[in-house]
Amino acid sequence: MNFLNPVPVAVNNQSLRVTNLAWDFLKPIIKPGDIVVDATAGTGQDTLFLTQCVGETGHVFAFDIQAAALKQTQAVVEKNGFAGNITLVHKSHDLILNVLKQQGIKEQTVMAIMFNLGYFPGGDHAIITKVETTIKALNGALALLASGGLITICLYPGHSGGLEESEAVINWCEKLEKPFISHHFRTLNRKSPPTLAMIQRTR
Ligand SMILES: C[S@@+](CC[C@H](N)C(=O)[O-])C[C@H]1O[C@@H](n2cnc3c(N)ncnc32)[C@H](O)[C@@H]1O
């Protein structure tokens, strides 16, 4: 797998956003018909991206603990005509492994799992992802991840509780052993920039 080809479209004359960078890494990996997960649906932008990647023959599971986020996600995918291939899960993502198994999804069959941590931009900023549930969700995601697949994690150290969570996730990523490879991308000359961690299951 060559991660430098194609060149990420997030690298242009705009400020490079980790959310766009995650999409650029995922685009060449996700194929029509794949099973994928958005572990933090929020405004629905990542879910919409995933539904477009997997097409009508694939399936997206989108988790969020907030009904308002799932409502917005449903509206976004419906508006864009992609509502047929998603299951909205109004549960915490730490249940990811059990929920997907109950849906008949086997371990090592999910090509992409996106985490975009923090708070729902349009909602209560006090409701945030938490270290304990995030790490449990990541362990479930590892079990589900297919060979050649990718977990992306956008981290936001700038909000209250965000630095602790970012450090816990990076620490967890650093300890992963084969067949996993973990990566971390960050902007160097900004204070507390969002960063992107990624995990591959190698073939
Ligand atoms: C930064 S937003 C996600 C942005 C989203 N991916 C998008 O495209 O707009 C983080 C989301 O995680 C959700 N969240 C917080 N804790 C969660 C948990 N334990 N399980 C699932 N979702 C959670 C929040 O409700 C919020 O909507």
The pLDDT of residue 6 is: 44
Give me the sheet containing 195-201, strands edge to edge: 86-89, 59-63, 35-38, 110-116, 145-155, 195-201, 180-186
- Does residue 176 line the site of ligand 1, with CB under 6 A? no
Q: How far apart are CA 64 and CA 61, in angstroms?
A: 10
The pLDDT of residue 32 is: 96
- Does residue 63 line the site of ligand 1, with CB under 6 A? yes
6: preceding bond cis by omega (within 30 degrees): yes
Pocket test for ligand 1, best of 26, 64, 134 (most atoms within 8 A of CB): 64
- Does residue 105 line the site of ligand 1, with CB under 6 A? no
What pTM was estimated for this model as a whole?
A: 0.94
The confidence band for 7, taking pLDDT boundaries of 50, 70 and 90, is: very low
Nearest CA to ligand 1 atom 22: 64
Helices 45-54 and 67-79 meet at what angle, rounded to 10? 50
The confidence band for 122, taking pLDDT boundaries of 50, 70 and 90, is: confident
DSSP label of 41: -
Give strand ranges (E) for 64-109.
Answer: 86-89
Ligand 1 centroid to Cα of residue 120, in Å, is: 6
pLDDT tens-place string over residues 152-190: 999 999 999 999 999 999 999 999 999 999 999 999 999
Burial class of residue 143 (count of CB atoms within 10 Å of its CB; 0-12, 13-18, 19+): middle
Whether pLDDT at 10 is above 70: no
Cα separation values, 103 from 30, 97, 173, Å: 20, 10, 28
> Tokens standing for 188?
């160097």
Pocket test for ligand 1, best of 40, 45, 154, 196 (most atoms within 8 A of CB): 40
The confidence band for 11, taking pLDDT boundaries of 50, 70 and 90, is: low
- List the domains of the chain with CATH numbers: 18-201 (3.40.50.150)
Work out the percent of the chain whose per-residue pLDDT is above 90: 87
- Does residue 51 line the site of ligand 1, with CB under 6 A? no
Whether pLDDT at 5 is above 60: no
Contact of 60 with 86, CB cutoff 8 Å: yes
